[in-house]
C-alpha cells in the first residue's frame, strides 16, 4: 500500500514537472518569430543562401533553403564592455532590426550600426538576419498582425505591409530632406490616401533585366544583339549560342510573376482597366505567356526553374553561375552575388531589357528599411533611421553593397561603388540606365497594393499550363479569379 502511494506521489511530481516545463522557458530577449536569434558578437550574419529578390513578389521557398541562416548580430564585444564600464549600457535602449541578405549588405549595415552605437551609447541595435522567404514573406506579416514585430525591418512588400509602418515624421529633425530625396519611393510605402507619412527609406532600388554569359557568345562567334532587339530575337540568338557551345539551355527566368511582368508589359500587357482595377487578360499578357510556353516546349528555357518549383518562387541564378544557360532574366540585386560567385570564371554582362511592340521595360522594385508602429521606442527608431539615411552613410551602404541607390540626391551625384571588377561596374551602369526606360504600367503595377496576388497567380497558373494541367485560356480565367478572390479577401 505504501509502495503504491509512493508511486502515485512520484506521478504527481512528474506531472508538476511537466506543468512547470510547459509554463517556463519562454523568457528570451529574442522577438517572436525571429528564427534562432543568437546574439553573436560577430561582425555580420552569414549571407542567406537563397537569393532574395529585392523586390516584390510573393515568393515562397522551401524552408530548408535558408532556415539555417537566421542569426543576430550585435555590437562588438569590446564596445559592449566599454559601455558597461561607463554605465551607459545599463540605460541603453535595445532595438531589434529584422534583416535579410541578398549578398553582403548585412555586414555593411552592421558596420554602420556599430558606428552609430559608438556615437550613441544609449541605443543598441540588434540585427536579426532571417531567411527571406520564410522570415520576411511568411512569418513577418503574422508577427506584425499580432503586434509582435521588431522595431525596424527590411521589407519588400512595401504597400502590403504599410498599415504596420511607423510614421517617423514627428521624430525627424528635417522631414523635408526625406521628401526631397525619397519622395517617389515614399508613395510605395504609404497606405491608400496617405500622402505625407515617412515610414522609412529604400535600402536599394532594383530593376529587373537579363544577364548573358558573354564568354559563350565569344566562343560561338556570335555578336550580342543590339539594344533594341526583341525577346524573340534574343531567344533565337541565345539558342544559336547554346547549340554552338553545347550549353544545355539558352534561357532562364526567375519563377515569379514579377519577372514575367516586364516582358509582358513590353509585349503590350496593361494589367489594369480604365478604373485601375486588375484586368490581366489582354493580348500583351497572352503574347508573353505564349512565348514562355513555347520556350519551355522547345527546350529554349530550362524547365527546372518554372516547372520544378511547385508553388514557390525559384531563381535560375545557380544555373547561370554554373554556365548552364546563356541568358538569365533576373534583376540588379544579383550583381553582388555574381561578382562574388562567378568572379572572372566567365564574362557575365547585364544587357538592356529586350523590347516588344509596346516597350523595352523591366520592373522597378526595391527593399526598404522601415520603422514599425508597434515599437515602444519610436524616438530611438527615428534616430537610427535618420543616421542611416544621411547621404554619406547611405552612400557608403549603397556603394559597398553594390546597390542602385534609392536616394534621389545620391542617384544624381553618383555613388562610388566599391568593386575592382569591371564586369560589376558595367552591370551597375546598365541597370542604372534601365531606370529611365521603365514603363508607366510597370510603375503602376509595382505601386499597386495587391500586386503580390497578381504575381502569385501569374506564376502558379502559368506553371500549370507548362505542365499540361491547364490550357492558356483556362489559366487566364483562373489568374483573374485568383486575383479577384485575393482582393475580396483582403478588403
Partner 1 sequence: MTQKSGSYSSPRRSVGEMIRAFFYEIYAFIMNLADVVLTPLQRVIGSRNMAYFFVLPNLLIFGIFVLFPMLLNFRYAMTSGTGLFLSDRPFVGFANYRALLNCTNFFDPNTCVEDRFWRAIWNTVFFVGFQVLGMVIFALVTALILNRGIRGRGFFRSVYFYPVLLSPVVVALIWKWILQRDGLINAVLISLDQERVNFLLNADWTKFWVIFVSIWAQMGFYMLILLAGLQSIPADIYEASAIDGASPWQDFRGITLPLLMPTLFVVLVLALIRAVQVFDQVYVLTNGGPGTATFYMVQYIYNTGFSGQPQRFGLAAAASVLLGLTLLIFTLIQLWLGRSSEAV
Q: Which residues bind partner 1 (CB under 8 A)?
A: 5-6, 8-13, 15-16, 18-19, 22, 58, 60, 62-64, 137-138, 141-142, 145-146, 157, 160, 303-304, 307-312, 450, 452-453, 456, 463-464, 466-470, 474, 478, 486, 489-490
Nearer to partner 1, 183 or 308 (CB): 308
Least separation in angstroms between CB 394 and partner 1:
29
Nearer to partner 1, 183 or 299 (CB): 299
> E strands, 281-346, where?
325-331
For the chain, state the CA radius of gyration. 24
Nearer to partner 1, 434 or 482 (CB): 482
H-helix segments, 190-250: 214-220, 231-245
CA atoms of 384 and 125, how far apart (whole Å): 9
Least separation in angstroms between CB 370 and partner 1:
18
Nearer to partner 1, 149 or 199 (CB): 149
Least separation in angstroms between CB 179 and partner 1:
29
Chain-centre distance of CA 154, in angstroms?
Answer: 9
Nearer to partner 1, 66 or 284 (CB): 66
Q: Torsion-angle region of residue 246: left (phi > 0), alpha (psi -120 to 50) or beta?
A: left
Q: Torsion-angle region of residue 147: left (phi > 0), alpha (psi -120 to 50) or beta?
A: left
Nearer to partner 1, 22 or 192 (CB): 22
Among 255, 258, 207, 213, CA closest to 237 = 213
CA atoms of 107 and 131, how far apart (whole Å): 15
Distances in Å between the alpha carbon of 191 and those of 67, 401, 448? 31, 29, 10
Least separation in angstroms between CB 307 and partner 1:
5
Least separation in angstroms between CB 271 and partner 1:
17
CA atoms of 466 and 296, how far apart (whole Å): 7
Least separation in angstroms between CB 429 and partner 1:
34
Least separation in angstroms between CB 242 and partner 1:
16
Least separation in angstroms between CB 82 and partner 1:
42
Nearer to partner 1, 58 or 70 (CB): 58
Q: Encode 5-26: b = buried (16+ Cβ within 10 Å), e = exposed.
A: eeeeeeeeeeeeeeeeeeeeee
Q: Torsion-angle region of residue 99: left (phi > 0), alpha (psi -120 to 50) or beta?
A: beta
Nearer to partner 1, 6 or 413 (CB): 6
Among 128, 147, 153, CA closest to 35 = 128
Least separation in angstroms between CB 58 and partner 1:
4
CA atoms in the 13 A half-sphere facing the CB of 427: 31
Nearer to partner 1, 183 or 311 (CB): 311
Amino acid at each position: 500500500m505504501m509502495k503504491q502511494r509512493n508511486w502515485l506521489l512520484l506521478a504527481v511530481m512528474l506531472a508538476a514537472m511537466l506543468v512547470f516545463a510547459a509554463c517556463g522557458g519562454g523568457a528570451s530577449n529574442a522577438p517572436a518569430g525571429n528564427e534562432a536569434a543568437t546574439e553573436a558578437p560577430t561582425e555580420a550574419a552569414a549571407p542567406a543562401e537563397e537569393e532574395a529578390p529585392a523586390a516584390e513578389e510573393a515568393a515562397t521557398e522551401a524552408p530548408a533553403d535558408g532556415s539555417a541562416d537566421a542569426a543576430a548580430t550585435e555590437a562588438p564585444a569590446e564596445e559592449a564592455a566599454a559601455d558597461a564600464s561607463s554605465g551607459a549600457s545599463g540605460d541603453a535602449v535595445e532595438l531589434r532590426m529584422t534583416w535579410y541578405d541578398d549578398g553582403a549588405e548585412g555586414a555593411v549595415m552592421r558596420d554602420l550600426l556599430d558606428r552609430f552605437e559608438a556615437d550613441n551609447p544609449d541605443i543598441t541595435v540588434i540585427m536579426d538576419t532571417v531567411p527571406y522567404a520564410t522570415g520576411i514573406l511568411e512569418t513577418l506579416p503574422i508577427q506584425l498582425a499580432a503586434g509582435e514585430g521588431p522595431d525596424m525591418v527590411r521589407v519588400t512588400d512595401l504597400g502590403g505591409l504599410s498599415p504596420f509602418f511607423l510614421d517617423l515624421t514627428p521624430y525627424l529633425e528635417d522631414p523635408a530632406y526625406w521628401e526631397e530625396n525619397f519622395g517617389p519611393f515614399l508613395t510605395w510605402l504609404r497606405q491608400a490616401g496617405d500622402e505625407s507619412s515617412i515610414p522609412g527609406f529604400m535600402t536599394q532600388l532594383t530593376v529587373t533585366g537579363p544577364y548573358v554569359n558573354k564568354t559563350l557568345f565569344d566562343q560561338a562567334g556570335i555578336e550580342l544583339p543590339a539594344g533594341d532587339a526583341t525577346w524573340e530575337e534574343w531567344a533565337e540568338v541565345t539558342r544559336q549560342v547554346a547549340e554552338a557551345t553545347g550549353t544545355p539551355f539558352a534561357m532562364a527566368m526567375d519563377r515569379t510573376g514579377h519577372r514575367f511582368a516586364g516582358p509582358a508589359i513590353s509585349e503590350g500587357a496593361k494589367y489594369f482597366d480604365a478604373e485601375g482595377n486588375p484586368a490581366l487578360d489582354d493580348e500583351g499578357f497572352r503574347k508573353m505567356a505564349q512565348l514562355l510556353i513555347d520556350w519551355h516546349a522547345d527546350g529554349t528555357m530550362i524547365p527546372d526553374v518554372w516547372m520544378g518549383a511547385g508553388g514557390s518562387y525559384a531563381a535560375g541564378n545557380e544555373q547561370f553561375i554554373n554556365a548552364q544557360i546563356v541568358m538569365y532574366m533576373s534583376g540588379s540585386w544579383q550583381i553582388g552575388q555574381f561578382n562574388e560567385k562567378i568572379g572572372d570564371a566567365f564574362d557575365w554582362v547585364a544587357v538592356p531589357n529586350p523590347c516588344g511592340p509596346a516597350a523595352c521595360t523591366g520592373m522597378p522594385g526595391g527593399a526598404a528599411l522601415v520603422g514599425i508602429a508597434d515599437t515602444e521606442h519610436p524616438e530611438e527608431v527615428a534616430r537610427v533611421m535618420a543616421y542611416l539615411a544621411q547621404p554619406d552613410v547611405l552612400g557608403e551602404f549603397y556603394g559597398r553593397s553594390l546597390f542602385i541607390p534609392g536616394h534621389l540626391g545620391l542617384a544624381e551625384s553618383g555613388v562610388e561603388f566599391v568593386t575592382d571588377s569591371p564586369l560589376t561596374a558595367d552591370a551597375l551602369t546598365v541597370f542604372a540606365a534601365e531606370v529611365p526606360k521603365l514603363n508607366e504600367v510597370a510603375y503602376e503595377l509595382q505601386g499597386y497594393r495587391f500586386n503580390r496576388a497578381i504575381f502569385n497567380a501569374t506564376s502558379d497558373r502559368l506553371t500549370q499550363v507548362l505542365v499540361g494541367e491547364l490550357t492558356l485560356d483556362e489559366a487566364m480565367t483562373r489568374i483573374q479569379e485568383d486575383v479577384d478572390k485575393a482582393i475580396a479577401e483582403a478588403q
